[in-house]
Amino acid sequence: MLSKKQIFSKGILAVAPHMFSVIPFGIVCGAIGIELGFSPVLVYAMSIIIFGGASQIVFLQLLSGGASALIAVTSVGVINSRHLLYGAVLSEYLEKLSFIKKLLISYLVVDQGFAESNKFFQKNKNETHLHYHLLGSGGTLWVCWQISTLAGIILGSFVPEELGLKFAVPLTFIAIVVQDIKKLDHVIVMITCGLSSLLFFDAPFKSYIIISPIIALFVAALVLRLKK
Amino acid sequence: MTWLSIIIAGIITYFMRMTMVALVDRDLLGERVKAVLAYVPSAVFPAIIFPGIFINDYGTFIEMNDPKIFGAIVAILVGYFSRNVIATIISGLFSYWIIIFLL
């Protein structure tokens, strides 16, 4: 049985490598906000209030492009609706927590933290203090996101666009799923999701980001049925 | 107005994070749903990966000789064999930069 501190440290270590993509992306995110002409306080406040990289950029781009606040808010909601899926997966491991603790820990769930903590949970189902892993991973991502968006706000236009730092985002997620390309069922699900996301890319409110996982999960259900 | 929108967007985002963890009783989900949920990472992350590679900042498809495709292939190979997240990200970024800046 691992102690709380050990599991917390494992959570930190599990997401630490992802900083190579989170920090550049955070810097880009802060810099874009300033470039689009928003006030530094407002751009930074989003990192605390929304705390969701891609959705923060989309929100500011839509508003600066003249879209209504309703469209901007709806888009953030649609983009972040994938967290419903993460929550459904995590709930199995967080079941025993008190209601208040569930409310608090939910704020820290982001993509990379979910991915890495979920991997840990699957292998260590019998540990008692599982949620400390999520605190470690989510807390680390939170701190780094705050620092890097602030850095981007300060650096602003000094961030060279030619570097294409946003490309670090798909790379970090490749690192997360790449070991599953050994498994045919997972490959089918991944390709379904990927192709759907390209097909539905122009769907309103960036909804490709939730439409394609839903299609992929239906395909997963079919695959499961065929496997039996 | 912008501030109000940010706060509402934040509340909505928080609810997306919290609902399934704190409000929905997991027993409501059947065994089959739980089995399908095991595919969530594979079913969600490609929706971030594919557009991140194949669609540029202006929302149009890239050319098939775009350096991002090369970078992604290098990252997949390095990631698969090294099982190392840092190596995956760095190899992908560097191979992308090499093509952009040197060729």
Torsion of CA A198, A203, A207, A208, to 10 degrees: -10
pLDDT of A224 reads 96
Minimal-distance CA residue of chain B relative to A49: B10
pLDDT of A101 reads 97
pLDDT of B61 reads 94
Mutate to test the interface with A, among B4, B8, B16, B33 (most CBs of A within 10 A): B16
pLDDT tens readout for residues A92-144: 999 999 999 999 999 999 999 999 999 999 999 999 999 999 999 999 999 99
pLDDT of A89 reads 96
Residue B81, chain A, CB below 8 Å: the answer is: no
Q: Which band of pLDDT confidence, cut at 50, 70 and 90, is reported for residue A74?
A: very high
In whole numbers, what is the pLDDT of chain A averaged over residues? 96
In whole numbers, what is the pLDDT of chain B averaged over residues? 94
CA neighbor of B54 nearest in space, from B45, B44, B67: B67
DSSP A133-159: HHHHHHHHHHHHHHHHHHHHHHHGGGS
Strand ranges, E, within chain B: none
Distance (Å) from the alpha carbon of A39 to chain B's nearest alpha carbon:
11
Chain A, 96 to 155: residues with Cβ < 8 Å from chain B are 99, 102-103, 105-107, 109, 111, 115, 118
Percentage above 90 pLDDT, chain A:
93
pLDDT tens readout for residues A10-45: 999 999 999 999 999 999 999 999 999 999 999 999
pLDDT tens readout for residues B45-71: 999 999 999 999 888 999 988 999 999
Residue A189, chain B, CB below 8 Å: the answer is: yes
Angle between helices B85-102 and A19-35 (to 10 degrees): 50
Residue B85 pLDDT exceeds 90: yes
Element (H, E) at B79: helix B67-82
pLDDT tens readout for residues A156-212: 878 888 888 999 999 999 999 999 999 999 999 999 999 999 999 999 999 999 999
pLDDT of B27 reads 77
Minimal-distance CA residue of chain B relative to A117: B41
In this prediction the ipTM stands at: 0.95
Q: Does the beta-carbon distance from B93 to A186 stay under 8 Å?
A: no
Domain boundaries, chain B: 1-37, 39-103
Q: Does the beta-carbon distance from B86 to A20 stay under 8 Å?
A: yes
